[in-house]
Chains A and B, each alone.
Chain A
């Protein structure tokens, strides 16, 4: 025990500037943090790619210094990624998307400061929690990780999937269908068992382009499209600022967010625990932690209808889980050499460069335990410093939501496309962004919840793989594993407890509530016939989609590879039937109930529907236009040209603003991404055609 404490203490001393070596370590940690800070804020710069670029620098460093450098960078990306998510509705990192769902609506309500305060504070609590979990887990780490086999893994994924229902909002069938859609998205690509391509659309895309879908659709492109594009449309239609023209609500909001963290301390701790636990399961990846935490925040709340509209708990949960996960995911990396994510894989490479064998040595007080504990301290220290620095600038950052929307839109569009492009350095993901952007906008318009879709996407693959592995190894006997039974019990309690407790509360409070609250908090709205047709058509699209899934599973690849078709079949058929039900519901329903929050009457005045339609069409064409510009001119040139065109002709800004911002966009893209980071931007299609056709003309002349 004493030797653990000694190593714990020694680990701290090593990363503090108390000696020459410590100073060097501390300085490199700062450099790493600075890099991580930028990477987290900018969509499109992946943490993993950055680490790969940083790796060659560590050859001549001391182990502690090397890891301070790398881990310092890695530890802050999740925190700063939340900032972009809250402010713009664009996830700064693939793993910070769940913060958008409630964080961005808060920004739109003029509470950006509070949302940021909550995100950062919960991140800090989460990070510290995760780090100390790591420290505490060290003596028992092996049994802890080994207790989770494929069967338990599957059950955990299943537990997550049952959260879909509570994320569904008021219309549970719609939520289930959205979740089913997410699960189907997770099936796209080569199936995990027989390498059969599923839903890769050879017939539509052609064999070559279909290859793009073999690895499935990337979480980043789906979330960026689903959340960012509808926000940009909304911003353009409002024609004001992100915060909707309201006045900055006394920027004390930041402190309010900090207080929220402690007001909901139980939730923050539970989500931190959840994140750390998911982190330590090898192979779970970054996506599930935040979405499960979000789902848990919703599920455990007595009034779910606040979520998605700016509930602070929806920011606190994922914020905490995102960062506690980092500490957790170091556990399998250190103890088993099993990287939980790509970033961890690169850290593993760094271990090897430093001549350290991941495994028991890292947990042994006589060997590298001090180093392991210094990781704990690096995570804690970098997070504290990051959050402290962020707080200094937070009030300034929150003011961005009061900047004219037209000035932000071109930058947001360029960044979301960059985010898509950077996934695989290909245009394919940019198209996915556009596609899911359209889908996301329609889902918002027709009251479909988006979080269930993402939950399905992050958990689908895990569930299918592990169900297969478990039944291959154990037959059916895995159903009786103690771990499986425990998780099954938790799942059942999780499903029924909120329902039962809500009923009890309702019974208890019914009398009082009736007398206190005016009955008119539910407003009845008549749905105009045009919307009804549109709603029905969208539901019909879902019916068609699942019909295709079921058809393929039966007569397509399922015909010659039934094993690969089992999961599509099990998910596809119920979703298909539910989609039909929704189609009927949407076609027949002429009125709908809208829950009206008490404050909503004070919100911005309604905009004339004709103007709304004009502005929607206009921004939609600009969104496509930016894509075309990038394709024709390449990223660097398009950044200037498209920004200028949008500001001058789309937003009708004056010359100086249009030219000035276009120049800023160009400098940003050329200077940072092209010149500085050597992003492999493709040459614009136009720039390839013109010289070649000129050459051809000359040749013929």
Chain B
């Protein structure tokens, strides 16, 4: 019923507009619907990006297909990724967005992730991640040097293993000799922030592109309650982080830097879109072009600006390259990062 109805609508469109059929692949999308599968719940940052792209991409794909967003939550995105890999139809109409820390976990040899990420078609990503570490004013610490010289352990909050808040402090302990003590079990970034405000926690590592918005009140707070960034991954125009030391400059030992890089390469393509293995090349090309163009679309950019979403387009080719890079991590780096991988029972 649904198909015939859509078919009729499509027929009508063709008749009224009198458009002639173009190349086969391009015509393929006419009257079709692209499904966006989002690996997290509706309403979060991931979902907002996916929905913004889904709302506008139709104009940038020949045939102007309809789009529908579907949240398939579970296991930190693994449910959605497994679905895409094992059950997703390779028809160019199914696209998923899930947390790419799964790729890192797989690269590090997590036995629970049964997905060959190289086989997925990578369409590109709308943003990058900018890891940052921050300390509360009441600790009396202000700069990276203060933190490095601090003798006592600094309590840093996190949700769970695999999140920036958990992984990054441990990596800094390994590479810079900081003394972070990770307290995990918080239900989200937001509750972690409250624990900082209660002075239960002393420091926090997260991603600047979201902190600059969601932690704005704390960044602007005076004295003890101020959240002070002290190290970041790249130059960014906000005054709080503009002149901060960068991870890549501070971690001088190349071996140790390789450890950091092994983890941080996932930040270069955040919230990526992918399609199931075996999706025809020409359709992947159309989708890649569509995503690249929608991320330049003024309508989307204006919405993104209002929602304070930072758009940094990463091409499909670049995403594919980065995925491959993570999966072919050198054994010694893999070894050094082994502490990040979930253990498996007997």
Which residues of A approach B to under 8 Å, CB–CB? 48-49, 51-52, 55-56, 59, 145-146, 149-150, 190, 192-196, 207-208, 211-212, 214-215, 282-283, 332, 336-339, 342-343, 345-346, 348-349, 352-353, 355, 357-361, 424-426, 465-466, 468-469, 472-473, 556-557, 559-561, 636, 670, 674-675, 678, 680
Residues in A with CB closer than 8 Å to B160 are 190, 192-193, 195
18 contacts between A and B (CB under 8 A): A56-B51, A145-B194, A193-B185, A208-B86, A283-B194, A336-B217, A337-B215, A337-B216, A338-B191, A342-B41, A352-B308, A357-B217, A358-B217, A359-B217, A426-B72, A465-B187, A556-B345, A680-B68
Give Cα A215 to B191, complex, Å.
18
Q: How far is the CA of A424 from the CA of B195 in the complex (A)?
A: 29
In the assembled complex, how far is the CB of residue A220 from the closest CB belonging to chain B, in whole angstroms?
13
User: Considering the complex, which residues of chain B in the window 145-193 have a beta carbon less than 8 Å from any beta carbon of chain A?
Assistant: 155, 160-162, 183-188, 190-191, 193
A214 contact from B75, B193, B216, Cβ within 8 A: B75
B71 touching A338, Cβ below 8 Å: no
Could you say which residues of chain B place their CB within 8 Å of the CB of A560? 343, 345-346
Interface pair B185/A425, CB less than 8 Å apart: no
Q: Which of B51, B72, B76, B190 contacts A282 (CB 8 A)?
A: B190
Q: Are B73 and A424 in contact (CB under 8 A)?
A: yes
Closest CB-CB distance, A329 to chain B, in whole Å?
12
**B79 is an interface residue with CB less than 8 A from chain A:** yes
Closest 6 CB pairs of A and B: A359-B217, A52-B42, A214-B75, A680-B70, A346-B43, A338-B190
Contact B213 A352 (CB under 8 A): yes
- Alpha-carbon separation in the docked complex, A215 to B75 (Å): 6
Report B186 CB to chain A, min CB distance, Å: 7
B185 touches A346 (CB 8 A): no
Nearest to A352 among chain B residues (CB) is B308
Q: From A49, A208, A337, A473, give the contact of B71 (CB < 8 A).
A: A49
Q: Is the beta-carbon distance between A211 and B82 smaller than 8 angstroms?
A: yes
Docked CA distance A146–B160 (Å): 23
Q: In whole angstroms, what is the CA distance A426 to B82 when docked?
A: 13
Q: Of B41, B70, B114, B191, which contacts A283 at CB under 8 A?
A: B191
Residue pair A214, B200 in contact (C-beta under 8 Å)? no
CA distance A675 to B33 in the complex (A): 13
User: Across the interface, do A211 and B78 meet the contact criterion of CB distance under 8 Å?
Assistant: yes
- Our pick among B44, B55, B78 for the contact of A345 (Cβ within 8 Å) is B44
In the complex, chain A residues whose CB is within 8 Å of the CB of B278 = none
Supply 8 further A-B pairs (C-beta < 8 A) apart from A469-B185, A473-B201.
A49-B42, A51-B42, A52-B43, A59-B306, A192-B160, A342-B43, A345-B44, A469-B183
Cα–Cα distance between A212 and B73 once the two chains are bound (Å): 9
CB within 8 Å for A211 and B74 given contacts A52-B47, A282-B191, A283-B187: yes
Task: Note all chain A residues with C-beta closer than 8 A to B345.
Answer: 196, 556-557, 559-560
A397 to B70, CA, bound (A): 33
- Complex: A560 Cα to B343 Cα, angstroms: 9
**A residues near B328, Cβ cutoff 8 Å:** none
Find the residue from B43, B79, B190, B213 having the highest chain A CB count within 10 A. B43
Measured CA separation A546–B111 after assembly (Å): 29
- The winner among A59, A345, A559 for most chain B CB atoms within 10 A is A345
CB atoms of A349 and B186 under 8 A apart: no
Q: Are B306 and A355 touching (Cβ within 8 A)?
A: yes
A258 to B76, CA, bound (A): 46
> Hey, which chain A residues are within 8 Å of B42, CB to CB?
48-49, 51-52, 342, 346
Please state if A357 and B216 are interface contacts (CB–CB under 8 Å). Answer: yes
* B47 proximity list for chain A (CB < 8 A): 52
Contacts of A196 in B (CB 8 A): 342-343, 345
Q: Determine if B303 is an interface residue (Cβ-Cβ < 8 Å).
A: yes
A192 and B74 within 8 A (CB)? no
In the bound complex, do residue B343 and residue A561 qualify as a contact, i.e. CB atoms below 8 Å apart?
A: yes
Residues of B within 8 A of A48 (CB): 41-43
A415 to chain B, nearest CB (A): 20
Tell me the nearest residue of chain B to A666, going by C-beta. Answer: B1
A211:B75 contact, CB within 8 angstroms = yes
- A214 and B78 contact, Cβ closer than 8 Å, known pairs A195-B162, A207-B114, A332-B194: yes
B289 at the interface (CB under 8 A from A): no
B318 within 8 A of A: no
CB distance from B137 to the nearest CB of A (A): 15
- Greatest chain B CB density within 10 A among A215, A337, A357, A466 is at A337
Q: Does B336 contact A (CB under 8 A)?
A: no
Q: Does B119 contact A (CB under 8 A)?
A: no
Once the chains are docked, how many angstroms separate the CA of A150 from the CA of B186?
A: 10
In the complex, are the beta carbons of B194 and A282 less than 8 A apart? yes
A212 touches B79 (CB 8 A): yes
Nearest neighbor of A56 in chain B, beta-carbon distance: B55
* Inter-chain contact A193/B68, CB cutoff 8 Å: no
Residues of B within 8 A of A466 (CB): 185
Q: Given the complex of chains A and B, what is the CA–CA distance between A555 and B214 in angstroms?
A: 43
Say whether B194 contacts A338, CB under 8 Å.
yes
> A307 vs B78: C-alpha distance in the bound complex, in angstroms?
43
When the two chains form their complex, are residues B74 and A674 in contact, meaning their CB atoms are under 8 A apart?
A: no
Chain B residue with Cβ nearest A556: B345
Q: How far is the CB of A146 from chain B (nearest CB, A)?
A: 5
Complex CA distance for A195 and B191, rounded to whole angstroms: 18
| Cα(A194)–Cα(B72), bound, Å | 24
CB-contact partner of A680 in B35, B161, B162, B216, under 8 A: B35
Nearest CB on B from A294, distance (A): 23
CB atoms of A670 and B217 under 8 A apart: no
B197–A146 CB distance below 8 A:
yes
Of the candidates B48, B72, B184, the one whose C-beta lies within 8 Å of that of A425 is B72
Residues of A within 8 A of B114 (CB): 207-208
B161 near A194 with CB under 8 A, answer yes
Measured in the bound complex, the distance between the Cα atoms of B6 and A674 in whole Å is: 13
**Complex: how many Å from CA A154 to CA B161?**
22
In the complex, what residue of chain B is closest to A214 when comparing beta carbons? B75
**B2 close to A (CB within 8 Å):** yes
B198 within 8 A of A: yes
Q: Give the distance in Å from the alpha carbon of A336 to the alpha carbon of B44 in the complex.
A: 17
Is B112 in the interface zone, CB < 8 Å from A? Answer: yes
CA distance A360 to B306 in the complex (A): 21
Choose among B47, B72, B186, B200 the residue with the greatest number of A CB atoms under 10 Å from its CB. B200
Could you tell me if B1 and A670 are in contact, using CB atoms closer than 8 angstroms? yes
B335 at the interface (CB under 8 A from A): no
* Minimum CB–CB distance for B71 against chain A, Å: 7
Indicate if the CB atoms of A465 and B183 lie closer than 8 Å. Answer: no
Select from chain A the residue with minimum beta-carbon distance to B307: A353
Contacts of A469 in B (CB 8 A): 183, 185-186, 195, 200
Interface string of B1-37 (1 = CB under 8 A from A): 1100000000000000000000000000000000100
A643 to B35, CA, bound (A): 29
Name the B residues within 8 Å of A193 (CB-CB).
Answer: 160, 184-185
The smallest C-beta distance from B119 to any residue of chain A, in angstroms, reads 17
Closest residue to B184 on the A side, CB-wise? A193
Interface positions, chain B 290-346, Cβ under 8 Å from A, are 303, 306-308, 342-343, 345-346
- By beta carbon, the residue of chain A nearest B66 is A678
Contact between A352 and B68, CB atoms less than 8 A apart: no
In the assembled complex, which residues on chain B have CB atoms less than 8 Å from the CB atom of A214?
74-76, 78-79
Q: List chain B residues, Cβ under 8 A from A636.
A: 1
How near does chain A come to B86, taking the closest CB pair, in angstroms? Answer: 7
Contact between A473 and B75 (Cβ–Cβ < 8 Å)? no
Return B288 CB to nearest CB of chain A, in Å.
24
Closest to A189 in B: B75
* Distance of A126 Cα from B342 Cα, bound (Å): 45
Q: How long is the Cα–Cα vector from A424 to B48 in the complex, in angstroms?
A: 18
> Chain B nearest CB: distance from A237 CB in Å?
36
Contacts of A360 in B (CB 8 A): 217
Measured in the bound complex, the distance between the Cα atoms of B185 and A283 in whole Å is 12
CA separation between A469 and B187, bound complex, in Å? Answer: 11
Q: In the assembled complex, how far is the CB of residue A217 from the closest CB belonging to chain B, in whole angstroms?
A: 12
